[in-house]
Structure 1
Amino acid sequence: MACVLIVKTGDAYPEVVDQYGDFETLFEKQLSTALPAHLEVQVWDAQRNPTPPALDTLAGILITGSHSMVSDAEPWSEALKPWLQGALANDMPMLGVCYGHQLMAAAFGGVSDYHPAGRESGTHTVRLTLAGRQDPLFSQLPESFAAHLSHAQSVMQAPHGCTVLAHNSHDAHQALRYGPRQWSVQFHPEFSVPVMRAYIERQRAILRDQGENPASLSAKVTDASDAASLLTRFLAFV
């Protein structure tokens, strides 16, 4: 049976894990609704297990978010870069999310760092570029769609040769494509409405400090099923 690997790059907040599951569980819940019989999902915790699976044993790779920062260049994170470069060179289907998005961009020659405008949290509108409207993974999405976001760092400089698929007023690189079957997104397609609200609640003080209204952000959290559909649609490319 072919394996789709979830690369776990961190843990969600404890209260989120207790109520809804950790990052990999959120991915698994979404994928289970459309997982073909010939595919199975496995999890590799990259922070705790330094030995990556051999690429030739995998059919596809999904990379989770993390509360770590790519620019901190932690050894476990830096060790992932050549592995990801090998995956890209072998045309391995990949989809990176949040930290995974920033890590893929950094691994392929871009720059990920703190966003000068601060943190983006909540449900926000993301817009497809012309390339995004023509992309095989993104083309079935509406031109503008709601997405759950929680990040302090962003892809500040996209790798040379990659394609920008989506953006919004906060972030010029909400979605990128690096090769025929290699994508990454800044937003969280695995988040549900309750998980997004739990993240805003945990970040209440930080958001207030940067001049935002956490109660208003929480009230505006809405369904983001279009963004969520990317996870199951990705399986068609595996």
Structure 2
Amino acid sequence: MTSRKPLLILKTGRKIPSLDPIPGDYEDWIAAGMGWERAAVRVIDAAAGGPYPEPAAVAGIAITGSGSMVSDQAPWMRKAADWLVGAVRQEVPVLGICFGHQLLAHALGGRVDDNPRGVEVGTVEVRLTEAAALDPLLSVLPARLPAQLSHRQSVLELPPEATLLGSSAMEPHQGFAFGSCAWGVQFHPEFDERITPCFVQHYREILAERGRSVEALLAAIRPAPESRGLLQRFGALVREAR
């Protein structure tokens, strides 16, 4: 196992303190959802600046969520973005999740900033496009599915030549594909109904300022097992690339 290429998880942030009672962090939930043993997974702390391996040395790359904002363009974000562009050029499978989706879109020429519709958080219906039904990754998902969301920023403009794969009421760019093996999804397929309420509470004040009911959002949270199929499928694609 260890002599073969690992799955690389680019850790761009840490879970919020209210999630401390739930074991693990973004990278653990992602690896578990993909069915990869932790011994076969390499985690790089992006905020620490790497170091980064040659993209060809890994079987695939997953980029985690984060409390950071892509629009801040911290030096570590620019370094990570440059490395991701190289990985995409070498056709290494890449999956960006939430912040990772935004960072990947930015790296490939898209535009990221605050979502003008406000914070999108809770269990949300995601609607996939017709293109998603033919996509190697998202074709495993139903055309409409519940998904767990928590974000303030969005991909306002997709990268040139990217293919739109999904949307929601508050977010026109829930998913995209770029080339043959790079994807971004705004939703969190690694989250479950234990995790999402903590993010609703985290945004309580911001939501109240926009006149949105925290209680209604909490009451609407439900399991979203369909979205985890995306992690399982990506994990399988990466195994094939090893």
1:14 maps onto 2:10 in alignment: no
Asked whether the equivalents of residues 20 and 195 of structure 1 are also in contact (C-alpha less than 8 Å), the reply is: no
Determine the C-alpha separation between the residues in 2 that align with 1:165 and 1:202: 28
SS at match of 2:195: helix
The ranges of structure 1 where at least 4 consecutive aligned residues each deviate by more than 4 angstroms after the TM superposition are: none
Paired position in structure 2 for 1:35: 36
Provide, for residues 27-70 of structure 1, a one-character-per-residue CA deviation record: whole Å limited to 9, x for no partner: 12322xx338xx92121111124321221210000000000000
Asked whether the equivalents of residues 127 and 168 of structure 1 are also in contact (C-alpha less than 8 Å), the reply is: yes
Tell me the amino acid that sits aligned with residue 92 of structure 1.
Answer: V
Paired position in structure 1 for 2:213: 213
Tell me the amino acid that sits aligned with residue 81 of structure 1.
Answer: A
Paired position in structure 1 for 2:172: 172
Paired position in structure 1 for 2:79: 79
Asked whether the equivalents of residues 65 and 98 of structure 1 are also in contact (C-alpha less than 8 Å), the reply is: yes
Aligned residues: CA RMSD: 1.5
Q: Which sections of structure 1, spanning at least 5 residues, go unmatched?
A: none
Asked whether the equivalents of residues 8 and 63 of structure 1 are also in contact (C-alpha less than 8 Å), the reply is: yes
Q: TM-score, normalised by structure 1?
A: 0.94
Asked whether the equivalents of residues 127 and 168 of structure 2 are also in contact (C-alpha less than 8 Å), the reply is: yes
Determine the C-alpha separation between the residues in 2 that align with 1:121 and 1:171: 11
Paired position in structure 2 for 1:24: 27
Asked whether the equivalents of residues 70 and 77 of structure 1 are also in contact (C-alpha less than 8 Å), the reply is: yes
Q: Which sections of structure 2, spanning at least 5 residues, go unmatched?
A: none
Give the superposition deviation at 1:137.
Answer: 1.1
1:67 maps onto 2:67 in alignment: yes
Paired position in structure 1 for 2:228: 228
Give the superposition deviation at 1:156.
Answer: 0.1
Paired position in structure 2 for 1:94: 94
Paired position in structure 2 for 1:185: 185
Provide, for residues 74-119 of structure 1, a one-character-per-residue CA deviation record: whole Å limited to 9, x for no partner: 1101111110110010000010000000000000000010011111
Q: TM-score, normalised by structure 2?
A: 0.93
Determine the C-alpha separation between the residues in 2 that align with 1:108 and 1:63: 14
Aligned residues: 235
Determine the C-alpha separation between the residues in 2 that align with 1:49 and 1:141: 34
Asked whether the equivalents of residues 20 and 26 of structure 1 are also in contact (C-alpha less than 8 Å), the reply is: no
